[in-house]
Every structure is written in structure tokens, then in C-alpha cells.
Amino acid sequence: MGDNRVLCFLLFVFFLVSQVISEDPYRFFTWTVTYGDIYPLGIKQQGILINGQFPGPHIDAVTNDNLIISVYNYLDEPFLISWNGIQQRRNSWQDGVHGTNCPIPPTKNFTYILQVKDQIGTFFYFPSLGFHKAAGGFGSVRIYSRPGIPVPFPPPAGDYIILGLKYILDSGHNLPFPDGLLINGRGWNGNTFTVDQGKTYRFRISNVGLTTSINFRIQGHTMKLVEVEGSHTLQNTYSSLDVHLGQSYSVLVTADQPAHDYYIAVSTRFTTPVLTSAAILHYRYSTGTVFGPPPSGPTIQIDSSLNQARSIRWNLTASGPRPNPQGSYHYGLIKPTRTIRLANNAPVINGKQRYAVNSVSFSPADTPLKLADYFKIPGVFYLGSIPDYPTGGGGYLQTSVMAADFRSYVEIVFENWEDTVQSWHIDGHSFFVMGMDGGQWSPASRLRYNLRDTVARCTTQVYPKSWTAIYMALDNVGMWNIRSENWARQFLGQQFYLRVYSPANSWRDEYPIPKNALLCGWASGRHTRPL
């Protein structure tokens, strides 16, 4: 009898578990990664294609969907995809950067099993190794709200993606030809977005580039900002929008002008010269083609960009991924228990130009840090190998990992003493942008923090000779990359890892290592599950 009761109980538990798992739908993707010819600026280049496409296919998902993405690497070099802004809750195993995953060797495959848990909004994926990102392999990720969860604007008549980047031509050609800007992989007038007069469209703009901020605008039209990296914003109207490296924004555009064609312009920001590219906003039944030059935008001015950044606010009463209002999380009332100050710098180390955080220039290990941590492989990295504050000392190389406690609440101040705009991204989390300003940050700067309605996002800019401060709940156990979104800087050391640790060793806090985890370096040949 007792045994039967146990069996019944186990069946009941199994039933419950299977119910819970089946609640969130699965979406399956098979991606083949190959080289292929692309003509981004009319000149043949070797690109990285996913399923033959440049940019890669976009992913459409709904909050909490499970995404099963099998990636087949047909390049002749290792490859990895990472997910800008997908939080990978309890699951840094899927983050796809070299500190968490072994590269997919040539001719091999790897299946990412991830969930877009508790997220909405606009993000993108990109190849994380070397400079693959310069050649393609990136694409958009749109996460829609679940049915029944209110969205703070009526459903748009169309939902368009704009992936902008400054494209650097491979120097294999002899023609003098400047680098250019690409919109969805194409140059000047390479894209047409068709609209019906009187209707409203959503444009999701991501800067997937490597080197520069961009500015986005549409001739004769204004834009209503509605979403920033998963936060619904106050719906301010802008005539142009700065999108820094790695950032994503959604705007609503109403086709309320005479039925012509109009320029959609994207240009480089804070550069000389300014590069511009254009696409076409085409009114169905348009009676004319585009006229005049594309609208000009801001160029090197910092103040207007800073003011725009400060005007971006959270809509406290709008719902996020859950039905409750975003503003019910009172981020400004929680006291951070730790302040981390991170200064970027550009030291010369061993005669080479490097980039660093608090004087530490990240040096990649031969074993993913996450695997070294899991298998307790000594000597790959040391906790505390990067200080919490700028030291002012000379630069040095280190596989830098900062230790942090699960469920702590931290303040991070990005300090930029250099004269270029920085863009910082944190994997696995979203954070509140408390404030930004020129000059040196000090505790008194906290008096000017926005404690009420700033946005939560995953990528923030830091203006030249300025600081940006964030609050962040460390609510995600794992090994998380904090990096410059300027790719050369990231590659040459302006990054490190934050190890968010829970002593509980429980599935509630972190998923076990996936059965299909690739093993490499000192982790080769280890077993992924206890025998």
C-alpha cells in the first residue's frame, strides 16, 4: 500500500512538473553559419551568413518562450553566438561568450537552450568571437508581450527592424572608398519600408556596430519613444534619436504626411567626417519620390545627447513583462550595499596598445571561466583579480573576475576620463541608469540621481570626461561579462567577468550544466553530469 501511495505521489509530482514545463511554448531554430559574398557598399566582401542571410534571420518570441537554437558552424574557424540583452536567467551556460562557452569548432554544432524569461522588448544576437561581428552573423530579437498583458500603445500597423552599423570595408580592394553605414546590411537607399497613410508603425532600432554611436531620424516625421531594451518609456516625441553601441530603442511613427517617399536617415555621431546612409519610407500610392537631401542630424555635440538621455523615463504605470506596473518595483528606495567604480583607460602594455578597466586589461583564458568554476579547475582565474575602484596604477594583463553575492544590490559608477564616448554592456541583468554628468563622480553626485522613473536597460553610454551611475540587483547567479561595446576596446581588454555567487548550490538559483555543453581547454574530457 505504502509503495503505491509513493508511486501515486511521484506521478502527481511528475504531472505537476510536466504541466509547468509545457506552459511555456518552445520555438525551434536551425541555423547554418557559412561564409558568403555580400555587397554591403556595392563592393564584394566576405560576409558571415546565417541560413544564407546577412543580417541573420530575426527571432520573434513571446515572454517566457523557450528557444531551442541549433547552430551548425560551417566556417573554418571556431564560432559562438551571444545574445545582447537576453538575460539567461539562472543560465549563464547559454550566454555564448568565451568566458562562459567553448567555441563551436568548425564542422560542429551546438544547441542553445534558452528562455526569454520575464522579458519583453528589443534586443539582438551577434557572433562574440574575434571580429566576426564585423562580417555579419547578427540579427534582431523581438520579444512580444503575452496575450492579455497590457501594452501601453495600440498595436502598430507594422513592426520594422532597423539594424544600423558603421561598416568597415575590408582593405583587400584598391579603390579609395570610404567606410559606410549599413541599414539592415545595405547601403544608400537599400531598404524600403512601406506604410499606409494615417497608420502608425513601430521601428526597432539597434546599433549592432563596432565603433560609433549613430543617430536615427525620418524626414518630415517625428518619433514617439515607447521602449528601451525591455522598458516601456514615457512616450516623448523626438525628431532624432541617438543610439549608442549595443543599444536598442523602439519608436512609433505615424504616416501623417502627404503621400510621398521620405528619407530614413542614419548617421555616425561624434565623428568627423559624419557618414550618413538612408533608407526609404514609402507611402503606398505615393505620388512622388524622395525629395531634397536626407534630414541632417546632430554631429559632434555632446550636450544635446546628454539632455536626450536624461529625458528618457520609465512609464511607471505601464506594464512590463508582467501585468503589474513597472513602477511597483521601487528601485530608488533600495540602498545599495556596495559601490563599484569602473574607469576605462588605454594603457600601453608590453609595447602594445591595450584597453583596460581599473588598469586591468582582460586577457582571455584557454578554458571558459564558467567551466573552470564548475569543475573547480585551479589557476584559470582568481576572484578579486580586478579592484572595485580605479587604482591609477599602470596597466597590466589579467583574466579578471570580480566576486559578487547573489541577491545583493550594487551601485556601479562608470567613470570615463578619456575623450571618446564609451558604451558599457552587462550580460545577465538589466540595470537602472541613475544619472550621468560631466566631471568626476563623487558621493555628492548621488543627490542628483533619478530615484523615481529612470529606465532599466542593459547598455549605457558614458560621455567623454563624464560618469554614468547605475543600480543593479544581482538577481541572476552565473558568470557574466561586463564589456565595452566598442569592439576593438573589448577585444583588447576593456571587459571583465562578474561572478554572481550563491552558496546554496540549488536549481532554484542556477540550472545545472547542460548535458550538451561543449568542453574544451582544461575542461576537455570532464563529465558534464556526476556519474
CB of 224 to ligand NAG, least distance (A): 8
Residue 443 vs residues 180, 306, 345: alpha-carbon distances, Å = 42, 21, 22
Q: Does 397 bind ligand NAG (CB under 6 A)?
A: no
CB of 363 to ligand NAG, least distance (A): 29
Q: Does 318 bind ligand NAG (CB under 6 A)?
A: yes
User: DSSP assignment, residue 156?
Assistant: P
Q: At 20, which helix (H) or strand (E)?
A: helix 2-23
336: Cβ contacts below 8 Å, ≥ 6 apart: 409, 410, 411, 471
What would the 3-class secondary structure string for 52-95 be?
CECCCCCEEEECCCEEEEEEEECCCCCECEEEECCCCCCCHHHC
CB of 20 to ligand NAG, least distance (A): 28
Choices 27-35, 315-323, 392-400, 468-476 (CB under 6 A): range interacting with ligand NAG: 315-323
Concatenating the DSSP letter of every residue in 272-314 gives: SSPPEEEEEEEETT-SS---SSPPP---S-SHHHHHHHHH-BB
Residue 152 or 158 with smaller CB distance to ligand NAG: 152
Choices 86-94, 183-191, 201-209, 311-319 (CB under 6 A): range interacting with ligand NAG: 311-319
Binding mask 235-254 for ligand NAG (x = CB under 6 A): x-------------------
Q: Does 34 bind ligand NAG (CB under 6 A)?
A: no
CB of 40 to ligand NAG, least distance (A): 31
Among 109, 197, 408, 502, interactor with ligand NAG by CB under 6 A: 109
Phi then psi for residue 367, to 5 deg, are -125, 130
Count of residues in contact with ligand NAG, rule CB under 6 A: 9
Residue 315 or 461 with smaller CB distance to ligand NAG: 315
Among 317, 324, 328, 506, interactor with ligand NAG by CB under 6 A: 317
Question: CA-CA distance, 418 to 420, in Å (whole number)?
Answer: 6
Q: At 401, which helix (H) or strand (E)?
A: strand 400-405
CB of 118 to ligand NAG, least distance (A): 18
Residue 269 or 457 with smaller CB distance to ligand NAG: 457
Question: CA-CA distance, 179 to 251, in Å (whole number)?
Answer: 27
**Chain position whose Cβ is nearest to ligand NAG:** 152
Residue 34 or 299 with smaller CB distance to ligand NAG: 34
Binding mask 128-157 for ligand NAG (x = CB under 6 A): ----------------------x-x-----
Choices 121-129, 283-291, 310-318, 348-356 (CB under 6 A): range interacting with ligand NAG: 310-318
Burial string for 494-526 (b: 16+ CB within 10 Å, else e) reads bbbbbbbbbeeeeeebbbebbeebbbbebbeee
Q: Does 302 bind ligand NAG (CB under 6 A)?
A: no
User: CB 200: neighbour CB atoms within 10 A?
Assistant: 18
Binding mask 400-439 for ligand NAG (x = CB under 6 A): ----------------------------------------
CB of 228 to ligand NAG, least distance (A): 13
Q: Where are the beta strands (DSSP E) in 65-211?
A: 66-73, 81-84, 109-115, 121-127, 139-144, 158-167, 180-183, 192-195, 200-207
Residue 96 or 294 with smaller CB distance to ligand NAG: 96
Residue 200 or 484 with smaller CB distance to ligand NAG: 200
User: CB 491: neighbour CB atoms within 10 A?
Assistant: 20
Q: Does 315 bind ligand NAG (CB under 6 A)?
A: yes
Residue 280 vs residues 39, 213, 222, 251, 261: alpha-carbon distances, Å = 19, 21, 15, 17, 6
Window 199-238: residues binding ligand NAG (CB under 6 A): 234-235
CB 425 within 8 A of CB 87: no
Residues engaged in binding ligand NAG (CB under 6 A): 108-109, 150, 152, 234-235, 315, 317-318
